[in-house]
Chain A
Amino acid sequence: MAARADSRSGDMPLPEATPLPEPLVPTDEPTPSDDADVVLRIKDLKTYFYTYDGVVKALDGVNLKIRKGQTTGLVGETGCGKSVTAFSTMRLIPDPPGRILSGEVIFDGANLLWGLDKEATFVPIKGTNRVKISRSFRRIRRATERMSAVRGRGIGMIFQEPTQAMNPIFTISNQLSETLLLHRGIEIIDGLFGMEPTGPEVAAALDGMVQAAQRGKSGDLRVAAEKLGEAVHLSSVGTQAYALFRAAGRDVDGARTDVQNVLKGLKPNGLERSYLHHRKRLMELAEQLDEVYLKEMREGVLHNRERSRLRSKVRLERLTHLHFGLWGIRGRSKRSLERETFWRSVALLEGMAIANPVQVARGYPFELSGGMLQRVMIAMALSAEPKILLADEPTTALDVTIQAQILELMRDLKTRVGTAIMLITHDLAVIAEVADRVCVMYAGTIVEEGEVHEIFRRPLHPYTQGLLASIPRLDRPDQEFTSIPGSVPNLIYPPSGCRFHPRCPYAMPVCKGERPPVTIEGDDHAVACYLYKGPVRAD
């Protein structure tokens, strides 16, 4: 885009008075007791896009809470800012043209948007309604680096279009291994050091597998393979042995020899061991760096000295181990680690109910269907065991039958792993199926939120009512289709006051003036509409 060249000092058109970012307060205030289970809290988030046509006010003060072990649905029409909310949370908004103006995203006591006000300055150009943005790219880069402490292990994300989110030139196992090494690397290397591939227990477990294979029950074989993994203290051996026995079919003795060969070559040799030590050291340093980043975001203070000390340690570690980059050593030194991550990624795929995980792991993204790739994406996001999963329209590109599979999987994850999920979708039926709470978005603001049964039983905001009425119902086929007149407003020139008033059947003069406050209308049910006169919510 041409905007890139002059974005440092480019003058962008601005139709109204410049919204200057408000100074942020460090968030050391004690959290109230009812918010104990809130894992992610978004406060007054504003994200604008500075385009040539004008300033697109994509998010205009979003407040959101995600609670532990709950699925929060974010629903609304196209272009109402659902995805922008998720991308802003992860700081993935392309900057320029986008800019998070103000707000707080509080995760694990840390404000992910800390330092926002220093990243760019807005200078109005005299005599015009335009504004000059000068960005400090150094600060923006540092803020992005800080996010590495949160992305993946803290907050995971599933993207809408799985075919575009995967790298086309690497195999599925390559891409899963990368995530695994990044987030679970130390655990993986420790496992490789701690295993014991010989001994009577291992032999007994292998005999158990042979017997199970002779009985011909794949369930028994699976259990026996897991026992082998336990005996070796390396679960990936179990996965590999299971795959070998499955591939061998009736040739049980052949499979046994294969597994014995695998066990023989399992112990890392000297070169591999020294490579593992090197990688582990790098991972530990990266982990310490993440700690520093989190500390910076929690305390709101830069720890420059600590950070640069760790950086130079990383540099030194790399310098003293340059020989691992040499041709001939590079491949050999990685061998045991690659074997381990490959079989771990196979196990991950197995967990996603993929029928032929080994084949899928060896394949490239283009060889898989959309539903399959979406499962790989979910496996990738979950491999880091995130506390929160942001799922951006995970089933929109899929068929209903595949959608049912993915939704089943997500429900299962919620109960089994206890991950908090933010599910972004435009399909209220999907929300009804999996969500516990719903937030309805319209034109960059949340207009109604509450518990899912409550919202479907007693929708208060006219927009929510319109959305619910417009779904064609399978169980009520004869009803006339109702629709919301008009369409989503242009967010460069959003309507004044309540943004829904031009389409609202109950619009009153007051709606055009001020933005309606968020009022509490019952237990865990809040709405931003002048029709309701409940107590105003604190935030």
Chain B
Amino acid sequence: MSFSGDPSTGQVVISTHNLRKYFPIRGGLLSSHIGDVRAVDGVSFDVHDGETVGLVGESGCGKTTVGRLLLRLIEPTSGHTFYRPTPETVTRLDQLYASIEKMPRDNGGRVASGQSASLKELDEIAEQYSLYRKSNSDMRKLRGKLQIVFQDPFSSLSPRMLVRDIIAEPMAIHHAGTRAERYQRVADLLREVGLNPEHEWRFPHEFSGGQRQRLGIARALSLRPEFIVLDEPTSALDVSVQAQVLNILRKLQTEQKLAFLFISHHLSVIRSMCQRVVVMYLGKVVEQAPTEEVFSRPLHPYTQALLSAIPIPDPELKRERIVLQGDVPSPAAPPSGCRFHTRCPAVLPICPRVDPPLIEVRPNHRVACHLYPNPIAKETAAEIAVTGSTPDGTSVPASAS
């Protein structure tokens, strides 16, 4: 699903399609498979060079799982993540996925495999670009390009290693340069993230939370990556320190043209950091648009509620807020139809029955909600609505039509 209409962004680094991850629940007598936790259930988006994509949602909605899937730290149940597909491939992929969505399906919602030329072609592209088809040795080579900064700076750094060894470890694993070169680079990296090169002889416990998070960033940068997943990089930090880390990330991005996936539940940070925002709810994408669009014209009721729930640090500003009732349902037994219907303030009769497809209702603004049934005049999007199959591949029950 590309945003090819936006000229400001560069080439696609990471393009993920229909990503799913079900964690099995085992129980019963022989600990047999009794259900699934649908942590991620059909997520698609692209990340371009030099772009920050924000991934927002409440805890337990699958944000972190998406981040880990994109780096193949865990294997997906289904779906593909393509690394650096050529521009032609990107357009071809969009066409292929659109046509696959229209295919007739059996009761389980599957297309019979091997029957369609599109599926075969997709398979060929996946063989070439998909991370999940790479062999272990190929994947290891790629790992240097795809890095992650973890949420908790207190548990992500080994307390028994010196700072220089922590930062040089990825380079040592990838045999990058000689020992002397590696340690030279450590000093450069420390300077880059605003720490003193003399700090390389210290242990992590001698640093504060913000400084540790900067060490984590330096480590992620050590192999000159192209894409970094930032998994709630500032939520363990104080506001006064958060700003230091965010400024460093901004600076690095403009200098090195890095692509970021910024996972956060903090919408104010997302707004300042990201060019595009993907809003998730219970494993599904409910809205996806450029940042300005999302904040000035949120369409999905969940996004609206999320925005109105943020406290504004100004006692003079009092506003009406939408307070959602209840908690996030369990992803092991998600509600039928639209997963948000149990808490939605604008629920329609159709919502509990039909899962709304993610459709483009304004240029580059996609939303999955029955309140917006009419996509902008785009051939593919229109056809999805007509055939009644959702982009994630499940067919609509007959009762709906």
Contact = CB atoms under 8 A, between A and B. Distances in A.
Given A400-B267, A470-B242, A483-B244, A371 B313 contact: no
Interface in A358-412: 369, 371-372, 399-405, 407-408
Interface string A455-490: 011000000001110111111011111111001100
Q: Which range contains the number of A residues in contact with the other chain? A: 35 or more
A433 B311 contact: yes
A478 to B, nearest CB: 8
Contacts of A481: 242-244, 246-247, 250, 272
Contacts of A36: none
Given A400-B265, A487-B208, A456 B309 contact: no
A481 B243 CA distance: 5
Contacts of A371: 327
A475 B312 contact: yes
Contacts of B312: 429, 432-433, 473-475
Interface residues of B, number: 44
B271 interface: yes
A493 B196 CA distance: 22
B211 A487 contact: yes
A427 B269 CA distance: 14
A401 B305 contact: yes
Interface in B312-354: 312-316, 321, 323-328
A454 B205 CA distance: 39
Contacts of A353: 325
Contacts, number: 134
A474 B243 contact: no
Nearest to A468: B313
A519 to B, nearest CB: 23
B265 A399 contact: yes
Contacts of B244: 481, 483
Contact of A471 (B250, B268, B316): B268
Interface in B97-120: none
Interface in B377-399: none
A477 B274 CA distance: 10
Nearest to B313: A429
B313 A426 contact: no
A478 B327 CA distance: 33
Contacts of A471: 239, 268, 313
A431 B314 CA distance: 9
A472 B246 contact: yes
B361 to A, nearest CB: 23
Identify the 7 closest CB pairs spanning chains A and B, nearest first: A483-B243, A481-B243, A429-B311, A404-B309, A429-B313, A487-B208, A472-B268
Interface of B: 58-59, 208-211, 238-244, 246-247, 250, 265-269, 271-272, 291, 295, 305-316, 321, 323-328
7 contacts: A399-B58, A401-B323, A404-B324, A426-B239, A471-B268, A471-B313, A472-B246
Given A400-B306, A477-B291, 16 more contacts: A78-B238, A400-B309, A404-B311, A405-B324, A405-B325, A407-B311, A428-B239, A429-B312, A456-B315, A466-B240, A467-B239, A471-B313, A472-B246, A472-B266, A472-B271, A483-B244
